[in-house]
């Protein structure tokens, strides 16, 4: 999968202290039950970066389903981290 980055989504994830490389690694390493489909071709992933940091990523698949536009990424909250560990 190719990721489409632009000024808006880079700035948005940056406000949450997240780097594009972290987002890409979380999405590419997603394991069941992720990614979870949301509405309108939006997908949600919770996962660990290569450094072990737990993130939530939401991306939109483009029409060809080969490219993803990231619309949100942030670290998991402590409560979400507990839920994630129970699911793993």
Higher pLDDT, 52 or 33: 52
Closest CA to 13 of 78, 73, 54: 73
Contact between 74 and 18 under an 8 Å Cβ cutoff? The reply is yes
What pTM value is reported for the model? 0.91
* Residues 45-72 pLDDT 10s: 999 999 999 999 999 988 777 899 999 9
Full set of structural domains in the chain with CATH:
2-87 (3.30.2310)
CA angle 69, 45, 19 (to 5 degrees): 60
Q: Which of 11, 70, 8 is nearest to 43 (CA)?
A: 70
Sheet holding 54-61, edge to edge: 2-4, 67-75, 54-61, 42-48, 36-37
Each residue's pLDDT tens digit, 6-15: 999 999 999 9
């Amino acid at each position: 999968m190719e990721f489409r980055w632009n000024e808006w989504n880079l700035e948005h994830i940056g406000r949450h202290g997240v780097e594009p490389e972290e987002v890409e690694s979380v999405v590419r390493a997603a394991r069941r039950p992720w990614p979870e489909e949301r509405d309108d071709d939006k997908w949600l992933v919770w996962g660990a970066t290569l450094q072990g940091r737990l993130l939530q990523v939401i991306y939109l698949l483009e029409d060809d389903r080969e490219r993803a536009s990231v619309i949100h990424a942030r670290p998991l909250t402590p409560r979400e981290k507990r839920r994630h560990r129970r699911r793993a």
